[in-house]
Amino acid sequence: MKLNEIQDLIKFVAKSGVSEVELETKDVKIVIKTQSSKSRTDTPVMMQAAPVMQAPVAQQIVATPAAETKAPETAKPAAESANLITVKSPMIGTFYRSSGPDKPLFVNVGDEIKPGKVVCIIEAMKLFNEIESDIAGRIVKILVDDASPVEYDQPLFLVEPA
């Protein structure tokens, strides 16, 4: 199975809402488990080579949520965050605020955004995915540091709707 086929499978599983997918071929066995809406636990994504004479050593990739680091930010007054909209990560990957180290940031606190405006990039398996805004408004807070790992559905920005 090629790397791009695995990436497509992961994207499909994330969008479909299925909690677990298992795929086994002659050489490879892939198990993808996602978070369910009722139960927020670790999101393991495991890739393991099936036992074959010349098979490489088994690999296991486990992604865990970074919820522990976000505890102070969730303790906001209810009135302050009641009218704000949260822009969340559509995938697991690495969050970048610009397209390169010497490039300008996509958005800053106080910037006005419109639907379709790129607000960040998330790198997943060496693919750089531009994340576009679905709403119009003003960026109030950026919740993730540049070059930090992010989880699926993790809050990235707080936006005051226009």
Whether 136 and 76 map to the same domain: the answer is yes
For the CA atoms of 64, 94, 91, 4, the dihedral, rounded to the nearest 10 degrees, stands at: -110
Please compute the mean of the pLDDT values over residues 105-116 and round it to a whole number.
Answer: 95
Name the band, by pLDDT with cuts 50, 70 and 90, for residue 133: very high
Choosing from 12, 31, 63, the residue where a domain stops is 63
Domain that holds residue 101: 67-161
Residue 86 identity: T
Task: State residue 56's pLDDT score.
Answer: 45
Please compute the mean of the pLDDT values over residues 95-118 and round it to a whole number.
Answer: 95
Whether 75 and 120 map to the same domain: the answer is yes
Whether 52 and 73 map to the same domain: the answer is no
Task: State residue 55's pLDDT score.
Answer: 43
Q: Structure pTM? A: 0.52
Name the band, by pLDDT with cuts 50, 70 and 90, for residue 117: very high
Count of structural domains, the chain: 2
Task: Give the dihedral sign, CA 30/88/42/121.
Answer: positive
